[in-house]
Structure 1
Amino acid sequence: MDKKFKNRVREQFGKTAMAYVQAARFSGGKDLEEAARLLKPTQDDNLLDVACGGGHTALFFAPLVRQVVASDLTMQMLKKAQEHLAEEGGVDNVVFREADAEDLPFPAGSFTLLTCRIAPHHFPDVPRALKEFHRVLRRGGRMVIIDTLLPADPEIADFYQTMEQMRDPTHIRAFSEADWAQMILDAELILQETKVIPKTHDFQDWAKRAGLNRKEIQQLNRYFMDAPQKVHDYFKIESFAGEVETYTDQKLLVYATRKEKEKK
């Protein structure tokens, strides 16, 4: 990962760490429920949550597994996430580690489960990260990645990429379902299932969580309002008196596994 960009990510998420920790919308949802259904976690499992953010995914899975290692590039985010879990109480099997998704500091085969939720669009080299996921997963290990699905229509995709970068300059890009399938294959993982899950966002909360000031939020609001009708239709943009209230995007859940050990 480029050092300058890595520092930008640390700066961005360091200053917004508390907002992400306090965002209740991350603590549950259909995506986490579906992830648990597919991963089938047990008390024998050791789970790595990559780019853990506010710790919500780690907290969700902690009661279901033996141990969770919650890793993130941003130390400030890890500290806030750790405080959040301590305040929630009842969880004593989560440990926190500073880690770059593209260079994980764990031995090969350390984990039976791996999760990475709403983060890969910040990774400069997703294929490299996936190879690291393969390396740290034990043979037969299971993995779920959840991230925003890139719209198929080029004009809508361009709108999406631009609005995400207006909100957060550390956004790099989202991927199509076909992109993910190819990257999973290239990483020598086995794609088992994908699922598209819509997610509705409160516009003001979504913009403020990224640390935007009033002027920046107004500019982003205008960009939404001025978008072509097909963009409004795709994102189900709801507005009142020229102000965006909500929009809905599509999250792609990718369930993959590492190949089992060959039988002799």
Structure 2
Amino acid sequence: MTNTVSFGYEEVAPEEKTRRVGDVFASVASRYDLMNDAMSGGMHRLWKDRFVRRVKPQPGEQILDMAGGTGDIAFRMAAKGASITVADINPAMLEVGMGRAQQRGIDGLVWTEANAEVLQFPDRFFDAYTIAFGIRNVTDIPKALREAHRVLRRGGRFFCLEFSTTQWPGFAEVYDAYSHKLVPKLGKLLADDEDSYRYLIESIRRFPDMPTFERMIGDAGFVRTKVEPLLGGLVAIHSGWKI
């Protein structure tokens, strides 16, 4: 790592980013769906459905859902019969997820506080590793990818859903204007938190493009890497296998 990392459009010390990202998600945890609706126009629900279809969770599999505190991905995968460990660095997000699971009568999920860069799980423990809209908030992304590789069994699969950069002419400019100008204002109006929403939009702009992130996944040891762009790359499903 360099001496600084990006926090939105700012450059800050790594430990400062970790702390400030924690503050952001502690602030938005109770309004997580509202946040995603504002950032995606409500389409995040369809993207998550598609993401889980690509993961193809199977009964009896052990799957780690990293940065999955509020349970959106875990609930979908658990419905397929897989055993899900939901991990998140932020206890406020986990609290929301556990409350939602209780309300929905979903039992059997394992909830644990964990840092994606230093996982407490043993080598070759999981059949699949998923992370949705979380990797861009990790302080040391290459380190987190190496940890994902470490905890997967041979034949294990990695899946990541993340915002990226749309390549559709015209649409990129429209979404850029919407996200930079309207989303922070929606954050102020709906959640009284303009700064957190502004960071989340800026973090998308600072995230590597699809080919660069695919190379990063390969550098972590994964093979057969693949990118599936959605809306021209506004969002992308990245995947890779451990052999």
Length-normalised TM-score, structure 1:
0.68
Q: Alignment partner for residue 254 of structure 1, among 235, 238, 242?
A: 238
**2:234 aligned counterpart, secondary structure:** strand
Q: Can you give the 5+ residue segments of structure 1 that lack an aligned partner in the other structure?
A: 199-233, 235-248, 260-264
**Does residue 128 in structure 1 map to residue 149 in structure 2?**
no
Cα 1:27–1:114 shift into 2, 3 Å: farther
Cα 1:111–1:17 shift into 2, 3 Å: same
What is residue 104 of structure 1 aligned with on the other side?
Answer: 119
**Does residue 20 in structure 1 map to residue 4 in structure 2?**
no
Question: Once the 2 structures are TM-superposed, how far is the Cα of residue 169 of structure 1 from its aligned partner?
Answer: 3.1
Question: Quick one: distance in 2 between partners of 1:27 and 1:58?
Answer: 18
What is residue 195 of structure 1 aligned with on the other side?
Answer: 228
What is residue 64 of structure 1 aligned with on the other side?
Answer: 80
User: How is 1:85-234 mapped onto 2 (pairs within 5 angstroms)?
Assistant: 85-89=101-105, 91-151=106-166, 163=180, 167-169=197-199, 172=203, 173-198=206-231
Deviates more, 1:52-61 or 1:130-139: 52-61
Matched residues, percent identical?
Answer: 24
Which structure has more helix as a fraction of its residues? 2
Checking the alignment, whether the CA contact within 8 Å between 1:113 and 1:141 is kept in structure 2 is yes
Cα 1:124–1:151 shift into 2, 3 Å: farther
Question: Quick one: distance in 1 between partners of 2:154 and 2:24?
Answer: 36
Task: Give the number of equivalent residue pairs.
Answer: 205
Deviates more, 1:30-39 or 1:54-63: 30-39
Question: Once the 2 structures are TM-superposed, how far is the Cα of residue 27 of structure 1 from its aligned partner?
Answer: 10
Question: Quick one: distance in 1 between partners of 2:223 and 2:50?
Answer: 18
Q: Can you give the 5+ residue segments of structure 2 that lack an aligned partner in the other structure?
A: 1-12, 185-194
Report Cα offsets for 1:78-100 as digits up to 9, x if no partner.
111111111111x2121111111
**1:32 aligned counterpart, secondary structure:** helix
Question: Once the 2 structures are TM-superposed, how far is the Cα of residue 30 of structure 1 from its aligned partner?
Answer: 3.5
Checking the alignment, whether the CA contact within 8 Å between 2:52 and 2:73 is kept in structure 1 is no
Greater C-alpha radius of gyration: 1
Cα 1:93–1:24 shift into 2, 3 Å: farther
What is residue 55 of structure 1 aligned with on the other side?
Answer: 71
Length-normalised TM-score, structure 2:
0.74
Question: Once the 2 structures are TM-superposed, how far is the Cα of residue 129 of structure 1 from its aligned partner?
Answer: 0.8
Q: Alignment partner for residue 42 of structure 1, among 29, 41, 58?
A: 58
Cα 1:94–1:22 shift into 2, 3 Å: farther
Q: Alignment partner for residue 47 of structure 2, among 31, 35, 38?
A: 31
